[in-house]
Amino acid sequence: MKDSISKIAVFLYGPPGSGKGTQAKLLADNLGLYHFDSGDFLRKLINDPKKQNDPVIKKEKELNNAGKLNTPSWFLGAVKEKIGQLITLGESVVFSGAIRTMYEAFGEEGVEGLIDFVEKGYGKENIFIFLLGISQEESVKRNSTRMSCLVCGFSPMAGMGYEFKSCPSCGGEIIRRKDDDAEIIKVRLKEYEERVGPVIGELQKRGYNIIKIDGTPAPYKIHEDLDKLAEKLIRKAGGKPGFLNYKPDGARHPYKASICASVNDVVVHGFPGDYILKPGDILKLDFGVIYKGFYSDGAATFGIGKISEEARKLIETTKESLALAIKECWPGNTLGDIGSAVENFAKKRGFRPIKGLTGHGIGSKLHEDPVVFNHGTRGMGMKLAPGMVLAIEPMLSAGSDKVIQLDDESWATSDKSLSAHFEHTVAITEKGPRILTRE
């Protein structure tokens, strides 16, 4: 929220194969950060249909297609323009591979580098730098056995225990990249050390704390360490994890994590552990923050790699049902209007709102009155009034609308069918709904 937690900028460094892109995406998904990947940004920029007649774009596209380094001053300017937009919007950002040279990081006389630019926009105290480390042997092993999609570029990480005949993300053809030859990887590693080493050294001279993490474990094992560090970042930015050590009514034990991570049939309150996500899974992330004594609560569902059509439709329907519910959040409307919007849209799409799991009021406590059902009758129930704050959270099932509680106190569909969950914290104002967890 713009008027709540200070915005942060996170930089992830690491040699080829260290998993910095994977970790950046996980942090972005968990904490609501904008993931800035320099490779993706460059590809989208030079292939933008609206800019194909621009002579500068034509030149940079030719350089890129020839495998040559793009013009450093042009690339730095384009990155700063994009990051400037994020700063203006008040968005936090996580970078993976964005600063590769001393020029990009620190510029030159008359040219401001990205570090100084980001420092002005976010404040030095809100910039965090992680360095993922793996051995040369591990890097060569991961990259030389890596396969990439010819269509979307997705690269399954070696060592995850899966052999892909087609892309798990888009179904495209899987190939081995030419620059993933073992000898070429050694050259790339040398270039990485020569380029990035001085950047890290200069950052340390400037007083930045470089947080080193062992990148050897599987990507989602590493994420457990990053999640703990993310908690520290939230606290440093002025907030506190809303779920950590929280004990809701009826629970046997306080919750021992900062987020809820629920996979497939598990609807809510799943505990983040060492489960390694695989293509086809759907992951629900639920995250709460306390700031100046008040709670916010939000959730989203993500498909991992290539997912089934049923899963895609379920995620899409749940997300759209939340949007429809929020549209009902005007003074004079009722809680029944909210529940009816969710229920009718879900059933129209062939899904069911899960019974027994609801949204809630939220404020100085995480769970307050009123209960916000995902089913109901229009015009019935409590009337909405300015000043009310609700956590609205549709939870839909592809099968049974009944849930069972598992041994870890999470809730799963009784027939093990897929489930999806989206949530926003919404304030009712005279001018309509204000989404607090999107600001």
The DSSP-derived string for 327-396 is: HT-STT-BHHHHHHHHHHHHHHTT-EEPTT--EEE-SSSSSEEEEE-S---TT-SPBP-TT-EEEE--EE
Q: Is residue 320 part of a domain?
A: yes
The one-letter amino acid at 99: I
Q: Same domain, yes or no, for 260 and 224?
A: no
Q: Same domain, yes or no, for 248 and 207?
A: no
Q: Same domain, yes or no, for 281 and 213?
A: no
- Give CA–CA dist 436/424, Å, rounded: 7
Q: Same domain, yes or no, for 252 and 337?
A: yes
- Say which residue the tokens 């609807």 belong to: 267
Give the domain extent around 245: 240-438
Q: Is residue 279 part of a domain?
A: yes
Q: Same domain, yes or no, for 255 and 394?
A: yes
Q: Which of 236, 261, 277 is the last residue of a domain?
A: 236
Sequential pLDDT tens for the chain (439 residues)? 333 345 889 998 887 777 777 778 777 766 678 889 887 788 788 888 888 888 998 888 887 676 566 788 888 999 999 999 999 888 889 998 667 788 989 999 999 999 999 999 999 988 989 888 777 777 666 666 556 665 555 555 444 444 555 655 556 666 665 545 667 667 767 777 787 889 889 999 999 988 887 766 655 554 455 456 657 766 776 888 888 888 877 788 888 888 888 999 999 998 887 777 788 899 998 988 898 899 999 999 998 878 899 999 999 999 999 999 999 999 999 999 999 999 999 999 999 999 999 999 999 999 999 999 999 999 999 999 999 999 999 999 999 999 999 988 999 999 999 999 999 999 999 999 999 987 5
Q: Same domain, yes or no, for 226 and 250?
A: no
Q: Is residue 156 part of a domain?
A: no
Check which CATH number belongs to the domain holding 292 and give it. Answer: 3.90.230.10
Q: What is the pLDDT of residue 1?
A: 34
- Give CA–CA dist 291/366, Å, rounded: 12
Measured in degrees and rounded to the nearest 5, phi and psi for residue 159 equal 90, 5
Q: Is residue 47 part of a domain?
A: yes
Q: What is the pLDDT of residue 23?
A: 77
Q: Is residue 161 part of a domain?
A: no
The DSSP-derived string for 15-53 is: -TTS-HHHHHHHHHHHHT-EEEEHHHHHHHHHT-GGGTT
Q: What is the pLDDT of residue 157?
A: 44
Check which CATH number belongs to the domain holding 58 and give it. Answer: 3.40.50.300
What is the tens place of the pLDDT at every residue in 326-379?
Answer: 999 999 999 999 999 999 999 999 999 999 999 999 999 999 999 999 999 999
Q: Is residue 154 part of a domain?
A: no
Q: Is residue 222 part of a domain?
A: yes
In the chain, how many domains are there? 2
Q: Same domain, yes or no, for 275 and 368?
A: yes
Q: Same domain, yes or no, for 398 and 292?
A: yes
Q: Same domain, yes or no, for 201 and 304?
A: no
Q: Which of 204, 236, 268 is the last residue of a domain?
A: 236
Q: What is the pLDDT of residue 335?
A: 97
Closest CA to 45 of 11, 85, 75, 21: 75
- Give CA–CA dist 244/254, Å, rounded: 8
Q: Is residue 41 part of a domain?
A: yes
Q: Same domain, yes or no, for 253 and 188?
A: no
Q: What is the pLDDT of residue 351?
A: 97
Q: Same domain, yes or no, for 216 and 293?
A: no
Q: Same domain, yes or no, for 245 and 224?
A: no
Q: Which of 218, 236, 254 is the last residue of a domain?
A: 236
Sequence-distant (6+) residues with CB within 8 A of 168 are 154, 156, 162, 279, 280, 305, 306
- Give CA–CA dist 415/292, Å, rounded: 41
Sequence-distant (6+) residues with CB within 8 A of 313 are 349, 350
